Structure 1
Amino acid sequence: MGNYKSRPTISCTDELKKKISESYALFRSKVIEELRPREADWTEVQLAAANTQDLTVLSQLLNDTNCNERTDTGLTLLHIACLAGAPTSQLERLLKKGKNINVLSKNLFSPLHLATYRGDAEQVEVLVTHGADVNQTGHSGVAALHIAAMCGHREIAKILLESGAKIDMGDVVKFSSLHIACHFGHEKVVELLISNGSDINISGSVGDRPIHLASSKSNLKIMQLLVDGTSQQKADVNVKDDEGHTPLHFCCKSGHLVTLHYLLDHHASPHEVNIYGDTPLHLACYNGKLEIAKQLIAQAGSDSLTMENVFSETPLHSACSYGKNLELVKFLLEQPSIDINYQGKDGHTALHSACYHGHIRCVQFLLENRADMNLVAAVSDQSGDSEKREEQTALMWAYERGFDSIVTLLKHYKRPSDESACGDYSQPGSLDGSYVTVPSPLGKLRSMTKEKIDVLQLRATLPHQFHLQITDLEFQETIGSGSFGKVYKGKCKGKTVAIKRYRASSFGAKSDVDMFCREVAILAKLKSPYVINFVGACLDDPSQFAIVTDYVSGGSMFSLLHEQKRLIDIQSKLTIALDVAKGMEYLHNMPLPIIHRDLNSHNILLEETGHAVVADFGESRFLRSNDEDNMTKQPGNLRWMAPEIFTQCTRYSVKADMFSYSLVVWELLAGELPFAHLKPAAAAAETAYHNTRPPMAITFPKPIVALLQKGWHSNPDERPEFRDIIPILEECKQSQAVAMLSNSELPSATLPLSLPMVTTQDSDGEGRDTPPLAGHVSALRNHWEMEASRNSVSGASDDKRKYPFPQLDKNGYVSDPLSTLRISLSMPLSSSSMSPSSPSLLVPHGDS
């Protein structure tokens, strides 16, 4: 572990606490947003619901129609009355109208949530009396009791408990109300919860108990309530979270002396180590807590002073990593067992740590106290060959981190007894010496620390039936690959499955861990015949991360169309399009909608029956709000990407999936890649900046043409929902025209005369004309070229030269969009060649 040079200043648990604080800060901001009235946008009856002065106005205006009105943010009249602090008589008047009392706003708050946050016990009493769901969860998985615990509303918490609130219900990070009351320091709520039987030792997402939170907040009264407990249960002062932190670790990190004495008096173990090898003294020194260090050593002895963590650092190293409290460094150096030049297992000294973290005053102090600048640390070669070791001085650590002032100090520092200002690191005859920079792996370690919390959370929240061991899997042939690793066909407990195996190094790569955790979390919530079925995941060892799903034997739509070049009849194509639409409709209408973000023909898998399922949710994410502005830039495959995503937008909606779907349907009908003549980035740029769309073929059913034009509209708001297009696809699939097109045995005389024929050979070698695949662009290209050649040979009139046939490239794309209009004007068509309901020969590029 010395390869990482120095311990990061933040642990997984710290990240979780930060995440919790941010989550509840966001929660508060969302509630405050709801509390902010927007009278300018409200109707007369909505303003009346907010009027607490004249209660007769609402009575006069309220009727069976307007009682259901909602604001743009999804607030009902009951929400508004709760926000305005309306008297209970006003609430009862609204409740008599029979409106659903548990409606959530767009920010996922019910009237009960808002009344609880405001601390209005009378409103809460009325709402629960009239059937409000006390266990309904909203934003961040928070229920009303969580809100009461956060705000310290003891009276409301009591009402909720008496009304059946689940006392140990967890929020999105599995925090109970007791966790939250301890975190926010509300003693009376803690006392109420414990007296009502709350589990004192209940575990959060990463094994953190209420006592861990209380010890980090230094609330002695809450500590006493937990440790004294009840006759049935008491808090364990030495309990560890998933990272091995005891309450004493949190106390020492935060610097709370009163809590420290209380814990030690109650037999807390002072020399316990966490998974990083840190003792409580380490954490006190990493955070510059001098008084904590003094009291720990005075009461618990000096055993921890010489203990190294996994980063080869003693408490002295830790204090120099912090580097801002020289009194702490001085105190440690005064201890009998401390050597200023002590080298950890990897050889680095306290001077190395101070140099690495850029603390020049600490470096100066150490040098003045005879720290040896020539001692070397052995760092593994970054190429991956762990046997290659490079020896580095403290100066090299400062140099590679860019701390020039420290480098200058070390190069020219001269003690009175020294003959030269240069150390052994300098080359003879040179004042500057030669230094080799080594890429720092600390950033990678920090990434690991931040990402590990997501994995721990995933392990805690994933249902037990989805947990798999790598030994449960039998790997067979490779069926796919990507930047994440490989996909295998295999066996899982006797069942044929597909196994997505992540690279062994993926745990150090933020994007891979993000993708893995997000994909598993999403797959575990899916249950539909139109999306891939999740079997389970291997979560125990980062080097063995794997996602297991059902094996779909038909392969991908991409493989079928472009590698196997299979001919598919129009009925089968519409079946695939309809299945994918149903899969996307399911995703978009889940309680927490899922945006796929990477819908393309690679991620549509076909069963032997001809039906399709949507797969690969590595780029997908839950869409918590339509106003989110933190979406990833440019996820997914560029060729099928919506313009708003390609143009670096970070606020987009499920309508981006509709754009991708439209290109997939065009690809399915045409049998060609969208913009096959362009590279993916150029194709995306063409759709985004030039508003270009693929051309329509004459064999596309007219309803599908209209659907595609709407689906790939440049304005996302103009695109339909999947629920809107499913009936169109079903009707189209059942239509007589489609049935005719799918019947390959129909004589050519019954087909539209304008349909270009493709010459094929029978088994006896004789040629015959057959209709091409619906929308097959290469067939259309042959037709146009044949007509153009015929026109040239026969001697076209001046009018026809004025409107030449469109110029198509090798992929059948029209170079001049206007030529598609000219060709329809210049070609004489018999009355039987085009029926009134037939689509035009080619639709010009653009949205319509």
Structure 2
Amino acid sequence: MGNYKSRPTISCADELKNKISESYAVLRSKLIEDLRTRDVEWTDFQQACSRSDVLKVVELASSDNVNDKDHAGLTPLHLCCITGGSKDHVRCLLQKGGDANTLSRNGFSPLHIACYKGDVELICALLDGGGNVQHFGYHEVAGLHIASMCGHEEGVELLISRQSDVNSQDVVKFSPLHIACYFGHEKVVETLIKDGAEIDLAGSVDDKPLHLSASKGYLKITQLLVEGIGDNRADVNCVDKEQHTPLHFACKGGYLAIITYLLQHDADHRLTNIYGDTPLHLACYHGKLEAVKTLISQTGDTCLNMENIFSETPLHSACTYGRSVDLVKYLLEQDAVDMNYQGMDGHTALHSACYHGHSWIVQLLLDHGVDMNLIALSSDQNGGSEKKEEQTCLMWAYERGHDAIVTLLKHYKRPQDESACGDYSQPGSEGSYVSVPSPLGKLRSMTREKIDVLHLRANIPHNLQVLFTDIELMEPIGSGSFGCVHKGKFRGKICAVKRYRASTFGAKSDVDMFCREVSILSQLHSSYVIKFVAAVLDDPSQFAIITEFVSGGSLFSILHEQKRLIDLHSKLTISLDVAKGMDYLHTLPQPIIHRDLNSHNILLTENGHAVVADFGESRFLSSREGMVQDDNMTKQPGNLRWMAPEIFTQCTKYSIKADMFSYALCIWELLAGELPFAHLKPAAAAAEMAYRNTRPPIAITFPKPIISLLQKAWHANPEDRPEFSSSIPILEMCKESQAVAMLSNSAQMETFTISTSHCAPEEDEEEDDGRSTPPLAGHVSAMRTRWELEASKNSGVPVDELRRRIPYLQLDKNGYVSDPLSTLRMPLMPSGSIPEPPPLPSSPTSLNLAVSELLQEKTKFPEEK
């Protein structure tokens, strides 16, 4: 159904708002937890502090016990602040040597507690006694953040007068002004602005205080921010990283007073976010009728037919929401609204209502005379080729299972029509009847798929066609929309078994994907792509593909779930293997475009090498040049986060160069160790790259040849991207360069792993297809034992003695050697010698300078000379 289904159900702004709420709820709960003291195993002195018994405190306090902590990490000063002790109580403890900056287990100092309770006297006493006004605790909050959160105006004024940084930012880069705006404390906001708080300071996703006040509906705070003091005032059209303006948030929440105020102060109602939504779109998507009326009455009808990137106007948006008949009725009454408007993919407002099952909206649209026979364009696969399929709104309702709407559309007769006819009704017949894609459409689909399966059985060698009973299934190792992947055993060998669900009707059926993937896999013979073993073809309910089992798991899992450290040499090995695998696919007599290259589909062997996997979205191309005709490609295949712009923008003419764009993002992800645009949802990330031409930031520590390769590989124009064949020599030279070897060695020294800068491959090491990178990881004890045995063999020192004398082999927090992909080969040592720990750089700064110098000056390649 075109790109309509790719619209995210929740935007990044919504997700951030939820995370902020959860984050500060956790902060409050931790503070409350510290306030709920328990006198379990307390000393007499601690009990006296909790009762604010000054005389007893003076009698028992000493330098030995004044900083004792209880089970929750609370000191006597904490207990005094929690129970509302006097300033004399606090001063007594401070004079005895109490530390006003000690943090509890939950990460709060006595000053944080006093700020939370709003006790000005205690705050003064703590600051006079050496308390640090800028001491950061849990969530990187200072006392001023907590006082602003709680709305303690006097505490805020006192902290600012004691030189607290009014613009300091917590872990989500919220300043005290952000927090006061979020929690709606008008007096605190006024105080902060008066004392110099920066009104347009950006949060972690460029969210400004005005965004927060508009999203929460605080009119007075919005006015304070917009009017400001002097030049320090809010920009009414400021944008966050999703390009939302404050007006977007006000319309989304339906806050009429704020909408009116912002429009009076030159807020631009035509600005769009990265999804192409105007403020009017968001008001309609959330059913805010009065907000829609306010916008239209004050700004006119300029936005009524504006289309977002999901091919939807405000009328489409209201029908998608579907719970406000009055909103849809109001929009239909506007002269500028075209009730039959078709977006880029052809779907109408009626399609949207049918897709979401809003029967009252469907009835309303039909009563207003919409054309139920207008078509949207979707993709349909037919063997190796694809063609656009025309889909009516009835088909959308049918495929979503909305039977009541299907019945309504089939038999609807407009009051003004004597004999209403649909596309498929006979002239003169009674009523309006539009044929349903079932059973005829379903029969066509099943017939086509039976032909595909028969063709597959005829072309796959008999020895590669097996019964499902020949496979021994083990634990599941992955899943997706296609079905599930299991670890299994076949003919005595461990393998991976990909089982398909038997869904035999739809624009993109599982049977069709299965047939295509088997036909592609069975023709691939390269050590850089997953090896095909066999397939189960006899029964659609048991369709399965058997491939080699790659024990290292996916690159995504290694980087983002296990969070394993990888040295630069190994990263380049992986990049090179993937490039060779993709070059093999693109240079076949009949080239193959992968279309779903991402870190999920790059699997790592136990030797640290990579293979390309998952060909469910792949296609054979008819030309060696890798280009296809306009109607020969599906819209938006694969994962949005790694998607080339020409695919995301619904272009139906793209080439194998789309794979190069995805590959560039994989290289960046591998080098950076994080997801591309991790702060955005996948659709937002794809839109950012496609419509704003934004790319992930390049670190100065990336090798210069790789930077040059990335900039070419993710070029906006596919024609300017290189071939994989031209990228391979660059990666090979970079991998073998002295700078990379030194950098890998430096990274290992920094994490206290064994230095390998002078290592040479063992002479008797077995080669596997010319690739000899050592094992990926494996069990920690096995890795350590291997190292110790090798060191013992070369030095002549018994293993037990070696373990006693070399305590510096470090494991990371997950129990792995710090750099699991680093080589384990040892330098040869003279008999009787014991390896000494490698010298560490004097400081992280000196290491970074050395790395920068290596990358900027040492790495020279022919194409740069």
Which bracket does the TM-score occupy, shorter chain normalised? 0.5 to 0.7
- 1-structure distance, mates of 2:204, 2:115: 25
SS in 2 for 1:66: coil
Q: Give the direction of change, closer, same or farther, for the CA distance of 1:398–1:128 in structure 2 (3 Å limit).
A: farther
Q: Match of 1:701, SS?
A: helix
Residue 741 (structure 2) aligns with: 553
Aligned to 1:608: 758
Task: Tell me the SS of whatever aligns to 1:606.
Answer: coil
Identity among equivalent positions (%) equals 46
**Rg: which structure is higher?**
1
- The match for 2:202 is 203
Find 1:519's aligned residue among 658, 673, 677: 673
Change beyond 3 A, Cα 1:609–1:333: same
SS of match in other structure, 2:3: helix
Judged with a 3 Å threshold, the aligned counterparts in structure 2 of structure 1 residues 582 and 63 are, in CA distance, closer, same or farther, namely farther
Give me the whole-angstrom Cα distance separating, in 1, the residues matched to 2:185 and 2:274.
31
Name the structure 1 match of 2:772: none
Contact 1:182 1:214 in 2 (8 A): yes
5 Å matches for 1:393-404?
393-404=392-403
Q: Which amino acid aligns with 2:221?
A: I
| Aligned residue number for residue 506 of structure 2 | 437
Deviations 1:781-830 (A, max 9, x none): xxxxxxxxxxxxxxxxxxxxxxxxxxxxxxxxxxxxxxxxxxxxxxxxxx
Q: Kindly tell me: are residues 431 and 10 of structure 1, through their superposed partners in 2, closer, same or farther at Cα, counting changes over 3 Å? A: closer
> Which residue matches 2:16?
16
Q: 2:264 maps to what in 1? A: 265
Match of 2:292 in 1: 293
Shift of 1:407: 4.5
Deviation at 1:137, TM superposition (A): 1.8
Residue of structure 2 in register with 1:700 after alignment: 799
In 2, distance between residues paired with 1:328 and 1:126? 59
SS class of match (2:251): helix
Q: Alignment partner of 1:377: what SS?
A: strand
Letter in 2 for 1:553: A
Matched length = 567
Alignment of 1:80-95 (within 5 A): 80-95=79-94
Which residue identity does 1:704 align to in structure 2?
Answer: R
Deviation at 1:347, TM superposition (A): 0.4
Q: Which one is further off, 26-35 or 429-438? A: 429-438
Alignment CA distance shift 1:534-1:425 (3 Å): same
How big is each residue's C-alpha offset from its partner over 1:372-395, in whole Å with a ceiling of 9 and x where there is no partner? Answer: 333221135699999843333334
Contact in 2 for aligned 1:113/1:147 (Cα 8 Å)? yes
Do residues 185 (structure 1) and 184 (structure 2) align?
Answer: yes
* CA shift digits 1:5-26 (9 cap, x unpaired): 3633432222222222221111
Kept in 1, the 8 Å contact 2:151–2:188? The answer is yes
Q: Of residues 656, 667, 676 in structure 1, which corresponds to 2:786? A: 667
Contact 2:395–2:436, Cα closer than 8 Å, also in 1: no
- Are residues 382 and 583 of structure 1, via their aligned partners in 2, closer, same or farther at CA, if it must alter by over 3 Å? farther
Shift of 1:515: 7.5
Q: 1:133 & 1:604 partners in 2: Cα distance? A: 41
Once residues 600 and 443 of structure 2 are traced to their aligned partners in structure 1, the CA distance between those partners, rounded to angstroms, is: 44
Cα offset for 1:195?
A: 0.8
Question: For the Cα contact (< 8 Å) 2:80–2:90, is it kept in 1?
Answer: yes
CA drift of 1:39 comes to 1.8
User: Which amino acid in 1 is paired with 2:218?
Assistant: N
The answer to whether the Cα contact below 8 Å between 1:486 and 1:502 also exists between their aligned partners in 2 is yes
1:515-559 superposed Cα distances (whole Å, 9 cap, x missing partner): 87993599xxxxxxxxxx9825989999699999995528999xx
Relative to 1, partners in 2 of residues 1:335 and 1:506: Cα closer, same or farther, differing over 3 Å?
Answer: closer
Task: Indicate yes or no: 2:178 matched with 1:79.
Answer: no
Aligned amino acid, residue 751 of structure 2: G
Q: Which amino acid aligns with 1:437?
A: G
Contact kept, 8 Å, 1:6 with 1:353, in 2: the verdict is no
> Does the 8 A contact of 1:182 with 1:213 survive in 2?
yes
Instruction: Name the counterpart of 2:434.
Output: 423
Structure 1: distance between partners of 2:574 and 2:299: 59
Structure 1 residue 420 displacement after superposition: 5.1
Residue 342 (structure 1) aligns with: 341
Rate the CA distance shift 1:344–1:542 in 2: closer, same or farther, 3 A: farther
Mapped contact 2:442–2:505 kept (Cα < 8 A): no
Distance of 1:332 and 1:103 partners within structure 2: 61
Secondary structure, aligned partner of 1:215: helix
TM-score (structure 2 length as normaliser): 0.57
1:507 counterpart residue number: 641
The answer on 1:583 being equivalent to 2:751 is yes
Q: Residues 639 and 298 of structure 1: is their aligned pair in 2 closer, same or farther, counting only changes over 3 Å?
A: same
Which residue in the other structure is 1:51 paired with? 51
Deviation, 1:107, is 1.8
Distance 1:275 1:145 in 2: 34
What is the match of residue 755 of structure 1? Answer: none
Counterpart of 1:104 in structure 2 is 103
Match of 2:343, SS state, is: coil
Quote the Cα distance in structure 1 between the aligned partners of 2:180 and 2:152. 10
Look up the equivalent residue of 1:186 and give its one-letter code: H
Alpha carbons 2:797, 2:832 under 8 Å: kept: no
What are the ranges of 5 or more consecutive residues in structure 1 without an aligned counterpart? 442-473, 488-498, 523-532, 558-575, 585-602, 611-635, 641-659, 673-696, 723-732, 745-848
CA change 1:477–1:355 in 2 (3 A) is closer
Structure 1 counterpart SS, 2:751: helix
Change (3 A) 1:296 1:554: closer
Secondary structure of the corresponding residue to residue 378 of structure 2: strand
The 3-state SS of whatever aligns with 1:40 is: coil
- Alpha-carbon distance in 1 for matches of 2:383, 2:223: 51
Alignment of 1:229-248 (within 5 A): 229-248=228-247
1:18 & 1:383 partners in 2: Cα distance?
A: 44
- CA-CA distance at 1:351 after TM superposition: 1.8
| Residues 563-585 of structure 1: CA deviation (Å, up to 9, x unaligned) | xxxxxxxxxxxxx9xx979836x
CA RMSD of aligned residues (A): 5.1
Unaligned stretches of 5+ residues in structure 2: 421-429, 446-503, 511-570, 579-597, 604-609, 615-637, 644-661, 677-698, 717-726, 761-774, 819-825, 836-865
Q: Take 2:50 and 2:102, find their aligned partners in 1: how far apart are those partners?
A: 18
TM-score, normalized by length of structure 1?
0.58
Pair 305,256 (structure 1): closer, same or farther in 2 beyond 3 Å:
same
Query: For residue 158 of structure 1, what is the aligned residue in structure 2?
Result: 157
Name the SS for the 1:190 alignment partner: helix
Q: For the Cα contact (< 8 Å) 1:399–1:437, is it kept in 2?
A: no
Q: Give the letter for the 2:68 counterpart.
A: E
Per mean C-alpha deviation after superposition, the further-off stretch among 377-386 and 346-355 is 377-386
DSSP-derived class of the 2:371 partner? coil
Shift of 1:40: 2.3
Deviates more, 1:100-109 or 1:389-398: 389-398
Worse-matched range after superposition: 389-398 or 74-83: 389-398
* Residue 38, structure 1, aligned to residue 38, structure 2: yes
Q: Does the C-alpha gap of structure 1 residues 425 and 743 become closer, same or farther in structure 2, counting only changes over 3 Å? A: closer
